[in-house]
Structure 1
């Protein structure tokens, strides 16, 4: 990709709700560390029905890219010129790059972001894993596991419909997916890698079931943090990968693709994210 370091360009995160997104904090920290004072990164509240109009209204040449969060990761696909194999594998785009010829290319940095976060915590291969929950984040987790897990993945879900969905994703991603009812989730905590993809509070009741010698927990939440499960896991000596780790790594990949500058300043981005979260927990939003 060309280096767009001269002049200023724009980027933003879109979604709904979007007010508490940390993406502006992370990307602006990247621009500052990379010496790109003319670059801007904003956030816009955009719902599914408004996405096509928003894209159509962007001035050509001004914009480098977009970050997308829910509920836009799938509805954006028909509005793009092409998408990467990674994005196609889970039918989810969280990154749009505007090429110099005006083409819109969709990518997914959640999956390589997960792998990078795990690698940073010393996990590169695992024999089996457990996934708590189903849905878009769980399918990204399966895509990441398809590259590092040599054995079965057990998904703990609340309904047979969700179980069937996870098995379909397993077939598509060439992962051996077994499914179990959510009531059996305490047993899943004995896996060497547990990926929690559920909303805040969902795993709180599992905190008392953490085994004496836990493996690695990847909890995709970052606010509130730590979750009760993550706290209990750490107290037992287990390795914990948090949602901020994922957010920083996927944002770093986005920043690299949008600016053409590598490597992204991970340390500066993480520090900015930690400061913002600390300020929020202490009162006013950062």
Structure 2
């Protein structure tokens, strides 16, 4: 039960009704025995700065940031930690006691860790990133910094080109107008296709998955059922990392930043899946 001494966290985005972060983070906070609560906060782009300052003013410890605000928040905070600076994307905000808004990003490290867990080593091969938004920025930057050769493919080629230019200091990152043939290596879907957008759709044809080792799909559904991409990748024999696993991994890293406690990853993943 929330009381006058409860410390508050949340997730801001538009929309957030589908988000499984509140159930996941609240399960973790309960497991840690902390008098904290995590709430969903729908926020329109026009209100973003005023909401951030308002949440700080009423005593929130921090918030996660989801679509479509990750890049905008990177421009609004007072300080960017190195991972967020490199990607130009923020998914975690810390409200410092001195009044500063500090932006961090746990998306990229979570994706890199998930890929490494499937391959059982730090991966330094080819990666195809689908999309050019905030999550794609974080994923491409983190994987390039790990030594991967990253190709970015987006619906609008100019958006992929802009992102590749922005990340030139992170490593080997290029934009591609067409899907590579063969695709190979690792595919990271950072688009909402298969979940919030076109629920029955695929961000790339199933026929292009036959030579892929690992598929990571950041999209996830409110009912936790697999996206078409995850289903097709599993059928093609790929190792798969779904959006709920990525959500749990990035959420665990954010929780550790806010609380200083070791996050119970398995508890969080079970809660995200509704187990």
Query: Normalising by structure 2, what TM-score?
Result: 0.85
Residue number in structure 2 paired with 1:265: 264
Taking only aligned residues, the RMSD between alpha carbons, in angstroms, comes to 2.3
> Structure 2 vs 1, CA of residues 178 and 67 (structure 1 numbering), >3 Å: closer, same or farther?
closer
- Counterparts of 1:136-285 in structure 2, within 5 Å, are 136-150=134-148, 152-181=149-178, 184=179, 187-189=181-183, 191-201=184-194, 202-203=201-202, 206-211=205-210, 213-223=211-221, 225-261=225-261, 263-275=262-274
Residue number in structure 1 paired with 2:125: 127
> Structure 2 vs 1, CA of residues 50 and 243 (structure 1 numbering), >3 Å: closer, same or farther?
same
Cα deviation, residue 61, structure 1 = 7.4
For structure 2, list consecutive stretches of 5 or more residues without a partner in the other structure: 195-200
Q: Is the 8 A contact 1:156 1:180 kept in 2?
A: yes
Cα deviation, residue 243, structure 1 = 0.9
CA distance in 2, matches of 1:205, 1:142: 18
Counterpart of 2:41 in 1: which secondary structure?
A: strand
1:238-280 CA-partner distances (Å, limit 9, x unpaired): 211111111001110111111121x20001000001117xxxx
For structure 1, list consecutive stretches of 5 or more residues without a partner in the other structure: 1-6, 277-286
CA distance in 2, matches of 1:173, 1:89: 7
Give the stretch that moved more between structures: 80-89 or 152-161. Answer: 152-161
Counterpart of 2:263 in 1: which secondary structure?
A: coil
Q: Is the 8 A contact 1:204 1:227 kept in 2?
A: no
Give the stretch that moved more between structures: 230-239 or 83-92. Answer: 230-239
Residue number in structure 2 paired with 1:21: 19
Q: Is the 8 A contact 1:142 1:169 kept in 2?
A: no
CA distance in 1, matches of 2:18, 2:52: 22
Residue number in structure 1 paired with 2:70: 73
CA distance in 1, matches of 2:46, 2:173: 36
Q: Is the 8 A contact 1:129 1:149 kept in 2?
A: no
Larger Rg: 1
